[in-house]
Structure 1
Amino acid sequence: MSEIPNRRAIIDRRAVAESIDAALADCAPDARRGTASRLLKAALTAARAELKRRIAAHPGRGLELAAAHCFLTDQLLRLAHDVALTHLYPAKNPSTAERLSLVAVGGYGRGEMAPFSDVDIMFLTPLRSTPWVEQVVESILYMLWDLGLKVGHSTRTIDEMLRMAKADLSVRTALLEARYVWGDQPLYDEASLRFQREIVSGEARAFIAAKMAERDERHRKLGDSRYVVEPNLKEGKGGLRDLQTLFWIGKFALQARTPEELADKGLFTPAELRQFNRAQNHLWAVRINLHDLVGRAEERLTFDVQRDLAERMGYRARPGVAPVERFMRHYFLTAKTVGDLTGLFIAHLEERFSRSAWLPSLARRPSRLNGFRLNRGRIEIPRDDFFAEDPVRLIELFQLADLHGLEVHPMTMRAANRDAGLIGEGIRRNPRANALFLDILTSPRTPERVLRWMGEAGVFGRFVPDFGRVVAKMQYDMYHHYTVDEHTIHAIGLLNRIEKGELRQDHPLSTAIINQIVSRRVLYVAVLLHDIAKGRGGDHSILGAEVAERLCPRLGLSPAETETVAWLVRYHLLMSATAFKRDLSDFKTIIDFAEAVASPERLRLLLILTVVDIRAVGPGIWNGWKAALLTTLYNSAEEVLRLGHKQTGRNERIADKKARLQSVMGWKDESFAAYAGRFPDSYWLSESPDVLAANMALVAQADLDQSALNVRCTPDATAGATLVTVYAPDHPGIFYRIAGGISLGGANIVDARIHTTRDGMALDNLVIQDPLGGPFDEPARLKRMESAIADALAGKVRLADRLTAKPLARRRQEAFRLAPQVLVDNKASNRFTVVEVNALDRPALLYALTYALYGARVTIHSAHIATYGERAVDVFYLTDLTGDKITSPARIKTLERRLAEVATAPGAPQSAELAA
């Protein structure tokens, strides 16, 4: 640990030992351990203050800081050991069994520790524990516990240590890191020698296979991507554990004790050794600052710490890029480096252990590889200057890999990475290079996998520089789970799977129409480019369309194809915005959308692009309710585009719905006419046949029972949501009370349609989901929900008091800053004023907004709720109390101000509502 500057400023072991010796000289035996612990505690407090100062002064010196924390732990252990042997249980004539060695294992043995890392130690003895050994071990442990250290410990003989190492991979790995700390060194040396001779020798292949399988399983559990926006920097893909796995394998297979020895043995080039050390240093710097920031052992870079870490580690804003985004991009590039090093490392080991069972083989040999060759089923270059002779081969390499289903040899990946700089403007304009790239992008085989390889080799970003600008670029929000490049490549993979029919169950409409598309390459290029301009300081849709107009001709697309791609990129958010934020029963919504789309081909393309874009955001984002809304919008727009923009047959559509409902329910003409006459035309136009039938059954039963208040929850497994129907006497404020009751019941409203019968009853249909976007369908929860709504409507609870008193844990949304925005639109609907509120999501936000609208004396006719991570978008279709649009500028201003104030406020509104 000589790399630690001024070690004695952290802790001077000799000075502390002298103070302990002096204090214990006249101390009663039973008070000695307590006295020693107090002095050690004082030394630890001073040392931690010094380490905090060093972290603040030099936050980027990860390895130095990790070694400094380990140095402190070593000194404390040595002091505790000496107190136990000198003052507590001295052995004047120790027997053969009364020997003890303190051995650091695991991460502590490696000499790397964060402020709150566990202290993993093994007490090594020659024979079974004697009373003296037990007393010494116990006293050392009690002193360490008194210091507040989290200690993982074991007491082993050498034979026990070896027996457990043979039986357990984790024990074997921990002992591989073993390091002598203090005590009987000959005993440690004997154990180390036997471990090397009896455990390590001849077992390299089995150990490597086991560690690689362990790594793959760990990646699978954590999402199997190094580009998740809240990464686990210890266990995640591309994190510290991956680097440590390389080191473990190197130690086991080649007895390399340091990274420098790995380079000496040919496993790394000097440049790769520098990359290894830089990656290790950066990951340790982030981990140590994370521990110091949160004051506990924490390994996840969650949103609530990313901004603070970026600030304390010195990242500054750049045009269009916030400090936190620069910090996270650096992290992702480091994770990519770790992945690259892993592939190269394993390739080198393959050369050393050529009979390795864990490496794949290929039964067939492609007949034409255009000068490339096969090595154990993987494509490789025949000589080192192969790419320099013709840089187009950098693209051809991946096209051949895709065409023949081959993997790329890691040594060839290294060469591609090295030579990616050969791709200049001439290669980018080369027709053959562009044709090869388009073949990869639109491949019917595995474009996602091969494009990801191209990205890892640095070839993708060089050949498409606009894509290179979004590599490792995070989107600092809770909605997007991946970096922009990973999201894009994943979306291409989803498109490929839809085309193959693999996602028919999840996306039946997309699967049905994808083969009707005239130009499939338009769709693939549009998916590639839809987010290409993110982070440029403007509307990425508009800027992305400009990129498409410039890039598509280069790729070989015709003017017509280029125009379509540019349109798709420009409007790739149109369909989701319309489906999730607008009332699809309002015919003007459909007309406006159809006019923007203009053709059935564009509609098909836009639907599929929208589907893969949403699903590629991350797990749990796509659900049945979104599928239902998009399907409704697609079918309605397709009908308009096919039959013309004129709304025809409004009365016929209403009559048809009534006739079908009467047939399903089996009512006689006179009774049905009386029932149907209670509802305005808007009710028949906005509700689906299933909802109309469910409503009719509820109303009929309520009238029969003469029940004034009726609430029914009906789960819809297909939509992944639950329909809540409320039938009660209409009165001002009924909707905000329903919203409050649903919030108390633990659900979120995602859609609401509000109807008033001609005889003064309210019939409201609301679609709810659980807070995670899943179906709210457990019978007990549904019962509680019905009771909560009924109590809210009956005035049995003070909603404002209950909602503000509800204890809330610190929410992830609090890490974000989002200024509320209120938009009032009188052009989106012929009958209603449409108000859109964008705000930071919080519990009971919808209740607060609807209560404010009640206070503003407006009537809510429908509400449409969308959540994008931390951002809530609530849209209301309103009229004044006379049923007209809100057109007064002064009233619109007042409405905007009132809603903005509510959206900004931290809690629910304080109302004076009473039990009434």
Structure 2
Amino acid sequence: MPPRLRPTRLEYVVDGLRLRAQLSAAALDAAGDAPEQRRRALDILKQALFRGRMIAKERLENGAGGIETARLLSGVTDEVVTALYDFTTVHVFRARNPTEGERLALMAVGGYGRGTLAPFSDLDLLFLRPYKQTAHAESVIEFMLYALWDLGFKVGHASRTIEECIRLSKEDFTIRTSILEARKLTGDEKLAEELTRRFANEVVKGTGAQFVAAKLKERDERHSRAGASRYLVEPNVKEGKGALRDLNTLFWIAQYLNPSAQARTDGIVHLEMFERQEVAAFLRAFDFLWAVRCHLHFATGRPEERLTFDLQPEIARRMGYGDRGDAPAVERFMRRYFLIAKEVGALTRVFAAKLESERVKSHPKGISRLLPGRGRPRKTMLEAGFHEEGGRLNIDTPEIFQADPINLLRLFRTADRRDLDLHPDAFTAATRSLTLITSKTRRDPRAAKVFLDILARGRDPQRTLTLMNEAGVLGRFLPEFGRVVAQMQFNMYHSYTVDEHTLRAVGVIAEIKAGRFAEDHPLSTAIMPLIDDPEALFLAMLLHDTGKGGAGGQEKAGARAARQACERLGQDRKRIELVAWLVEHHLVMSDYAQKRDVSDPRTVVDFARIVETPERLRLLLVLTVADIRAVGPGVWNGWKGQLLRELYAATEAVFRGGRGSDAAAAVRRYHENAAYDARMRLVAVDPAATAWAQAMEDAYFTSFAESEVQGHAALARRAEKGGAAAEGHIRPGLNASEVVVAAPDRPRLFVDLAQAVTAAGANVMGARVFTSRSGQALDVFYVQDVTGAAYGSDNAKALTRLAAALEAAARGEPIKTETKRLSDLGRAAAFSIIPTVMLDNDASEVSTVVEASGRDRPGLLVALAQPISEAGLSILSAHIDGYGERAVDAFYVVDADGKKLTDPKAMTSLKAGLMLALDEAEASASSKSRSNLQRARASVAR
């Protein structure tokens, strides 16, 4: 990290006396020419403002602190604003004999009043008047506002009397908060002092609990808007949970309850309710977050508050972070960010403890439900060492942890069992006792039992483990988990840090166990009671991502970490190996379900050989569902659920029908019997479909329900009459719409159909292609709109138009296409993705599996299907999977003779064509990323 610099004295940046002298000289030189006076004054002020900002930027990039930078920027702005006020009242609208009503005080309020300012923050100003508005005051205010706007400021302003300020403060907590931080810039001293005095006596006095409750309610609502987790991987530095506004809220409350404190950020140092280490933590967090915010503004040239993926590497570089081993600079920086956010959460609880001791609140649901206290909370003794106080779990004395460190775990188990929130005093004592958790404690069988009671048998393991994580107890007791605390994954797929994702996944398993997801996960819910070792499941979920960044890859490193953790917890060998196996293979089921064709017997056989037992199959299904569901909002959908259910059912049939070398035969028998039964049922209901049924392959009949088969047969007859036919249906249970096309098979048919889907603005989730022995193709597409909803769910006509477009494309009619602009790449341009292509002749009994992985973009499916078609290959099925910025598309293909692709030259040529399509997307992204950076730098320079 760069060395810390000594603070810059403001007069070295902007000399106020010299600035005013320049403005006076400009006014005299252009006397009688008001427009020229104004132009010259603005030029002088712009130069001073630009110089001040550039000095602040240079010092920030050389290691100056965030608070120092914010104060320097505020000081520069003070000089510019007050110089403008003097210019306005002396040279433009001078009142030579000002009346009582023409008195005016200019005050900074809000964040500006606190004396901290980001490079492109709004200016919050209060023009304070003694009486009603006068023509003179109106002219001064109007001139100043237009000048400030011309200087590039976004100004939030109000012109009020003291009476109006007092009245509105009583009615509106936002106004009350802004005036709480009011700071006189210039103008009438007595007016400003009177406002401060009356505000303290008439507004603040006796309303502490009311203000606290209002500010924390406001905080809850803000968290709800910005994201309820402090571990979102694209955090809002200003408004997010664990960000600057949370610290501001603590400061506002502290200042409101102790008006004698200095109205500055470090005023919190003078509050007796805080201890030295808590003040240090507050200032450390404040300084870091302010540094990030200032870098964000300077890097983008705008008031950007969100730390998006495309900005994170640049901010990491500016703050001096470099790569270290396998840890990229951006992930090191973001881990620091999330550790700070975690510390802000702990500060909130510490602050709550101080308020509790002063009896400002007494409600049991935590700081966010703060109410006026009514006397000292009653204590109810619980188990030894613990008691209930005001609806929260507290400890009798901090020495309880020294007497037996396992009490650090018992504290959380008791809170879970009795459904109690932790008292902030207990939470604080736990955070200060972490060193008591030693290797001896970690290997104590009593500690292991308490921990497993919380994890696998708790009432709400996610909530309890989250509390343990915020206190630092979880990572201290389980070092393998501690290594991934606050660790982010620099990709667009995961919405949370590794630890937050893991704890959410544990919560999903607990909810499945409680039957709360019966509709979404009917299989998972039904098989939970059949699982022999639920403790192994919970342990595997908690440890499944502990191998991220480890040697040998995530899966192998995770298995090693799981063995190590389970051995230390004293688990038996059978459970240790089961947990390690689940951790090592926790991605296998989702890979097979989403990237492979489950109707292909080889897929099921290979998966069954990996899983080996029905118990592992059950465990892996629940683990996979929870893992996907906890990735982030919108990642789980019915389509993925259906794929997993199909793979589970087919694999279960293997275990019922045979083992080892008999597995393939069992799958074939399963498909043959199912296809025969489906054909017979179709012919019985629709005799006219006999020929079509006999011509369709077995794989088709095992892929669709009886009603769907009947609909497809009718569609095929329509196609024979009209050359092609298509129809669409919304499938709510899949979060997708199904569009079926029947048409004579021909080269490029799949490419044309995929292109028509893309042109309609739809995203293909999956596709199946069946060709009858009579030469008719049946292509089934599952599509969503750009929001991830079933295509046409908000507009039925859109789905009708898509079916018509596919029908026209099947007949060979031209397709209207739209050229996608470079900007469509958006944030994904921040990521460097290495494209890969793999051809596998062992993954299927009848097809070559082509897997292409690269940057996701509109039209990628078409771009990949074209070289496959040009190679003279037929696509039997396409499986599309997205992981944020990366797409993985798998195609099952055969040559013109219906066989696998085996010619080395043809395989090399196909690989080259696919790599070219993937490389084009990567080149566009690199260009986009460079363009964004250049525009940002140009904006700051201006």
TM-score between both structures, scaled by the size of structure 2: 0.92
One-letter identity of the residue aligned with 1:250: A
Unmatched 5+ residue regions in structure 2? Answer: 364-368, 925-942
Q: Does residue 445 in structure 1 map to residue 459 in structure 2? A: yes
Aligned-pair CA distance for 1:366: 6.8
Name 2:759's counterpart in structure 1: 744
Q: Cα distance 1:3–1:205, how it changes in 2: closer, same or farther (>3 A)?
A: farther
Within-5 A mapping of 1:277-316: 277-316=283-322
Name 1:494's counterpart in structure 2: 508
One-letter identity of the residue aligned with 1:399: R
Name 2:27's counterpart in structure 1: 24
CA–CA separation in structure 1 for the residues paired with 2:708 and 2:106? 72
CA contact (8 A) 1:472 1:484 kept: yes
One-letter identity of the residue aligned with 1:33: R
Q: Secondary structure at the match of 1:19?
A: helix
CA–CA separation in structure 2 for the residues paired with 1:435 and 1:681? 52
Within-5 A mapping of 1:341-352: 341-352=347-358
Q: Does residue 353 in structure 1 map to residue 359 in structure 2? A: yes
Structure 1 range deviating more: 552-561 or 616-625: 552-561
Within-5 A mapping of 1:875-886: 875-886=890-901
CA–CA separation in structure 1 for the residues paired with 2:530 and 2:390? 41
Aligned-pair CA distance for 1:160: 0.6
Name 1:773's counterpart in structure 2: 788
Aligned-pair CA distance for 1:177: 1.0
Name 2:802's counterpart in structure 1: 785
Aligned-pair CA distance for 1:241: 0.2
CA contact (8 A) 2:696 2:772 kept: yes
One-letter identity of the residue aligned with 1:271: Q
Within-5 A mapping of 1:574-723: 574-644=588-658, 645=663, 646-647=665-666, 648=669, 650-663=671-684, 666-668=685-687, 671-703=688-720, 706-723=721-738
Q: Cα distance 1:673–1:796, how it changes in 2: closer, same or farther (>3 A)?
A: closer
Q: Does residue 394 in structure 1 map to residue 397 in structure 2? A: no
One-letter identity of the residue aligned with 2:426: T
Aligned-pair CA distance for 1:711: 2.2
CA–CA separation in structure 2 for the residues paired with 1:537 and 1:214? 45
Structure 1 range deviating more: 82-91 or 805-814: 805-814
CA–CA separation in structure 1 for the residues paired with 2:922 and 2:886? 16
CA–CA separation in structure 2 for the residues paired with 1:709 and 1:363? 77
- Residues 681-724 of structure 1: per-residue CA shift (max 9 Å, x gap): 34334444343222112122334xx2113222111111111111
Q: Cα distance 1:806–1:40, how it changes in 2: closer, same or farther (>3 A)?
A: closer
Aligned-pair CA distance for 1:549: 1.9
Q: Cα distance 1:459–1:444, how it changes in 2: closer, same or farther (>3 A)?
A: closer
CA–CA separation in structure 2 for the residues paired with 1:561 and 1:476? 33
Q: Secondary structure at the match of 2:722?
A: coil
Aligned-pair CA distance for 1:9: 3.5
Query: 56, 62, 65: which is aligned to 1:57?
Result: 62
Query: 885, 889, 893: which is aligned to 2:908?
Result: 893
Q: Secondary structure at the match of 1:180?
A: strand
Aligned-pair CA distance for 1:250: 0.5
Unmatched 5+ residue regions in structure 1? Answer: 910-916
Structure 1 range deviating more: 433-442 or 395-404: 395-404
Query: 81, 84, 88: which is aligned to 1:80?
Result: 84
Aligned-pair CA distance for 1:37: 1.9
Name 1:459's counterpart in structure 2: 473
Cα RMSD, aligned residues only: 2.1
CA contact (8 A) 1:803 1:844 kept: no
One-letter identity of the residue aligned with 2:416: D
CA–CA separation in structure 2 for the residues paired with 1:80 and 1:808? 41
CA–CA separation in structure 1 for the residues paired with 2:704 and 2:413? 51
Q: Cα distance 1:908–1:260, how it changes in 2: closer, same or farther (>3 A)?
A: closer
Query: 169, 183, 189: which is aligned to 1:185?
Result: 189
Aligned-pair CA distance for 1:762: 2.0
CA contact (8 A) 1:396 1:436 kept: yes
Aligned-pair CA distance for 1:41: 2.1
One-letter identity of the residue aligned with 2:137: V
Q: Does residue 269 in structure 1 map to residue 288 in structure 2? A: no
CA–CA separation in structure 1 for the residues paired with 2:419 and 2:922? 57
Q: Secondary structure at the match of 2:834?
A: coil
Query: 44, 69, 73: which is aligned to 2:73?
Result: 69
Name 2:231's counterpart in structure 1: 227
CA–CA separation in structure 2 for the residues paired with 1:795 and 1:363? 79
One-letter identity of the residue aligned with 1:548: A
CA–CA separation in structure 1 for the residues paired with 2:922 and 2:776? 31
One-letter identity of the residue aligned with 2:354: H
Q: Does residue 413 in structure 1 map to residue 427 in structure 2? A: yes
Within-5 A mapping of 1:187-586: 187-255=191-259, 256-257=261-262, 258=264, 260-354=266-360, 356=362, 358=369, 368-586=382-600
CA contact (8 A) 2:362 2:377 kept: no
TM-score between both structures, scaled by the size of structure 1: 0.95
Query: 741, 744, 754: which is aligned to 1:726?
Result: 741
Name 2:819's counterpart in structure 1: 804
Aligned-pair CA distance for 1:418: 1.3
Aligned-pair CA distance for 1:642: 1.5
Q: Cα distance 1:3–1:76, how it changes in 2: closer, same or farther (>3 A)?
A: farther
Q: Does residue 146 in structure 1 map to residue 160 in structure 2? A: no
CA contact (8 A) 1:586 1:686 kept: no
- Residues 172-203 of structure 1: per-residue CA shift (max 9 Å, x gap): 11111111111111110001100010100000
Q: Cα distance 1:54–1:368, how it changes in 2: closer, same or farther (>3 A)?
A: closer
Aligned-pair CA distance for 1:263: 4.2
Which 4+ residue blocks in structure 1 deviate beyond 6 angstroms? Answer: 360-366
Q: Cα distance 1:324–1:99, how it changes in 2: closer, same or farther (>3 A)?
A: same
Q: Secondary structure at the match of 2:577?
A: helix
CA–CA separation in structure 2 for the residues paired with 1:113 and 1:261? 17
Q: Cα distance 1:907–1:700, how it changes in 2: closer, same or farther (>3 A)?
A: farther
Q: Cα distance 1:401–1:873, how it changes in 2: closer, same or farther (>3 A)?
A: same
Name 2:845's counterpart in structure 1: 830
Q: Secondary structure at the match of 2:43?
A: helix
One-letter identity of the residue aligned with 1:55: L
Within-5 A mapping of 1:3-152: 4-27=7-30, 28-31=32-35, 32-58=37-63, 61-152=65-156
- Residues 494-531 of structure 1: per-residue CA shift (max 9 Å, x gap): 11111111222222211111011111111111111111
- Residues 280-332 of structure 1: per-residue CA shift (max 9 Å, x gap): 00000000000111111111111110011111111011122110000000000
CA–CA separation in structure 2 for the residues paired with 1:874 and 1:195? 65
Q: Secondary structure at the match of 1:442?
A: helix
CA contact (8 A) 1:833 1:885 kept: yes
CA–CA separation in structure 1 for the residues paired with 2:918 and 2:804? 28
CA–CA separation in structure 2 for the residues paired with 1:629 and 1:761? 26
CA–CA separation in structure 1 for the residues paired with 2:820 and 2:565? 56
One-letter identity of the residue aligned with 1:699: A
